[in-house]
Every structure is written in structure tokens, then in C-alpha cells.
């Protein structure tokens, strides 16, 4: 697929279902990155999975032989930091429903998190991120916060997350449960939000037409890329098979079985 990849100078690459599954490298993905490096292409990894910090993603990839600096990892938290920087979100009265790792990471970024759930009435913003520790109390207090006027931010609106056992509930499914208790608008920090693709483009410092998005998810990677008018390539190594891709109204510019060079 060198002919295709050679057309572009920069790549926005998804992780789950593209580079790895359950953090195990998918065949051909390592050689694909080696090709990008050799051909002096720019690349960043853009994942909707915020359970780990950029530091941890960089470590997982580097340990499996995929070179990647901290600056090459983007998660929905990158978007959150930008929103706080732009004062679109105030850095106070924020409650976070996420993995403890993500909470620790947010604290390390000096984001002011309210940890006392009883303060739900004064909360202005909540951030929801699906995780294996998520429980009924989280769902209950997240719902109470939005009923009392808090803005709802989600690290993604993906309904499912691909694992080897199948597609399991992700942040979007939790958001749906919150919205069942109280109708509230959700601000998506992750893909397919235009804001995160704009940030990715800014990081690559390239023109739209010089960039290719590579992803396995039609609703996030491909839709987001299409909305941002960046060319998109669906790979069939994760969430989507060819039959689903053909049926979908969301059309990638290219479809590949895998990342074989």
C-alpha cells in the first residue's frame, strides 16, 4: 500500500483495532510505522481511550517496538486541556467519573477536581470516561450533577469498545444511561468532534490535503475525518468488517484489510 501512503505527508492513526487489540500489536502495524519513519512521514496517534495517560501509551508502544514520543499521543484529554486553556471550561467545580489513573493524570495537570460526591449541587462540569471501575454510584452522582445544571463532557461517545471477547460497553453507553435520567447535551471531547481533528492537524502542522486518517471505527475515525475534510482510510483489523462498511452511510476514502506495506 506504499502507493497510497506515499500520497500523504502526515498521518492521524487510531490505536485500538489499528495498531493493537487489548494492547497486543496487530500484525503489520509495526512495519507500517517503520515505513512512516523511513519515509520521513509525520504521524500522531489519536485514541478515544482516555484510561491511560499519554505517558503510558507512549511506554506501551515503545516497549512493543513502536517509536513514539509524548508529543505524538493525543487523547480526548488533549482537547480538554485546550478547552481549559481557551477558558471554554473553567478549571474549578469539576467532577470526574473515570479510571483512577485518568483522575491522577488530570490532577497532575493541575485540574481542580472535586472528589466529594456530596457536592454534586455545586458542580459546574462533569467529565465522564468509561472504565472498568465504573459503578452505580458513579452513574447516580453523574446524573445528579447534570440534573443540577452541570455541563456534561465525555471523552468519547463510542457506544462500544473492541476487545478480543467482543465489543463491550464504552463511554457512549454510560452517557446514554445518564441522558435517560435527564435530557442533557453532551460535549464530546474525542473523535468524531471537529475540535480534536483540528488540534491533530495543528500538531502535524500540515495542510488538510496532506493528511490521512487511519482508523477502524466508522462513527469516530472516519466520520470525524470526513467532517474535518481530511482523507480517511478504514482498516478492517478492528471494529468494522467489510459488510458493515459497505452498508454504512459513512464512507471512507479508502478501505484496507490491514496495514501491510
DSSP β-ladder status, 160-163 and 231-235: unpaired
- Residue 49 near Mg ion by CB under 5 A: no
Please identify, using beta-carbon distances, which residue of 49 and 114 lies nearer to Mg ion: 49
Which segment (15-23, 58-66, 119-127, 252-260) binds Mg ion by CB under 5 A? 15-23
Q: Is the peptide bond before 260 cis (omega within 30 degrees of 0)?
A: no
Which segment (7-15, 20-28, 49-57, 146-154) binds Mg ion by CB under 5 A? 7-15
Shortest Cβ distance from residue 215 to Mg ion (Å)? Answer: 6
Task: Find the binder of Mg ion among 10, 16, 36, 45 (CB under 5 A).
Answer: 16
Residues 217-236 that bind Mg ion (CB under 5 A): 217
Shortest Cβ distance from residue 233 to Mg ion (Å)? Answer: 13
The answer to whether 221 touches 235, Cβ cutoff 8 Å, is no
| Alpha helices (runs of H) in 40-166, residue ranges in sequence order | 54-63, 76-85, 100-108, 136-147
- Residue 14 near Mg ion by CB under 5 A: yes
The answer to whether 215 touches 232, Cβ cutoff 8 Å, is yes
- Residue 114 near Mg ion by CB under 5 A: no
Shortest Cβ distance from residue 146 to Mg ion (Å)? Answer: 27
- Residue 138 near Mg ion by CB under 5 A: no
Of all residues in this chain, which one has the CB nearest to Mg ion in the complex? Answer: 17
Which segment (30-38, 68-76, 132-140, 212-220) binds Mg ion by CB under 5 A? 212-220
Task: Find the binder of Mg ion among 216, 219, 233, 252 (CB under 5 A).
Answer: 216
By the 10 Å C-beta count (0-12 exposed, 13-18 middle, 19+ buried), 157 is classed as buried
Shortest Cβ distance from residue 191 to Mg ion (Å)? Answer: 9
- Residue 158 near Mg ion by CB under 5 A: no
Shortest Cβ distance from residue 157 to Mg ion (Å)? Answer: 14
Q: Residue 102: CB partners within 8 Å, gap ≥ 6?
A: 50, 51, 52, 53, 77, 96, 129, 131
Distances (CA, A) of 143 to 81, 181, 193, 235: 24, 6, 23, 36
Q: Is the dihedral of CA 22, 26, 32, 38 positive or negative?
A: positive
What are the strands, taking DSSP E only, across the chain?
Answer: 10-13, 20-21, 24-25, 42-46, 73-74, 94-97, 125-128, 151-154, 160-163, 166-169, 186-188, 211-215, 231-235, 254-256
Q: Can you tell me the distance from the alpha carbon of 154 to that of 149, in angstroms, rounded to the nearest whole number? A: 16
Please identify, using beta-carbon distances, which residue of 14 and 138 lies nearer to Mg ion: 14
Task: Find the binder of Mg ion among 10, 17, 54, 252 (CB under 5 A).
Answer: 17
Site string for Mg ion, 167-206 (x = CB under 5 A): ----------------------------------------
Q: How many positions of this chain bind Mg ion (CB under 5 A)?
A: 5
- Sites of contact with Mg ion (CB under 5 A): 14, 16-17, 216-217
Amino acid at each position: 500500500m506504499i502507493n497510497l501512503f506515499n500520497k500523504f505527508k502526515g498521518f492521524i492513526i487510531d490505536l485500538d483495532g489499528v495498531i493493537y487489540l487489548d494492547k497486543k500489536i496487530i500484525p503489520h502495524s509495526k512495519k507500517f510505522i517503520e515505513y512512516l519513519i523511513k519515509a520521513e512521514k509525520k504521524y500522531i496517534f489519536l485514541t478515544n481511550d482516555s484510561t491511560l495517560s499519554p505517558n503510558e501509551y507512549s511506554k506501551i508502544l515503545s516497549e512493543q517496538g513502536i517509536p513514539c514520543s509524548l508529543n505524538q499521543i493525543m487523547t480526548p484529554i488533549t482537547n480538554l486541556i485546550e478547552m481549559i486553556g481557551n477558558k471554554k471550561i473553567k478549571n474549578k467545580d469539576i467532577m470526574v467519573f473515570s479510571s483512577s489513573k485518568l483522575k491522577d493524570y488530570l490532577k497532575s495537570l493541575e485540574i481542580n477536581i472535586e472528589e466529594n460526591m456530596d457536592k454534586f449541587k455545586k458542580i459546574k462540569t462533569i467529565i465522564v470516561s468509561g472504565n472498568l471501575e465504573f459503578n452505580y454510584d458513579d452513574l447516580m452522582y453523574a446524573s445528579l450533577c447534570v440534573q443540577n445544571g452541570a455541563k456534561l463532557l465525555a471523552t468519547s461517545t463510542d457506544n462500544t469498545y473492541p476487545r478480543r471477547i467482543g465489543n463491550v460497553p464504552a463511554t457512549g453507553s454510560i452517557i446514554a444511561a445518564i441522558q435517560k435520567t435527564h435530557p442533557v447535551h453532551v460535549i464530546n471531547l474525542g473523535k468524531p468532534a471537529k475540535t480534536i481533528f483540528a488540534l491533530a492537524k495543528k500538531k502535524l502542522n500540515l495542510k488538510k490535503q496532506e493528511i490521512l486518517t487511519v482508523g477502524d471505527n466508522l462513527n469516530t475515525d472516519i466520520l470525524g475525518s470526513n467532517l474535518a475534510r481530511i482523507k480517511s482510510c478504514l482498516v478492517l483489523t478492528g471494529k468494522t468488517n467489510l459488510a458493515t462498511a459497505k452498508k454504512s452511510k459513512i464512507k471512507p476514502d479508502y478501505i484496507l484489510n490491514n496495514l501491510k506495506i
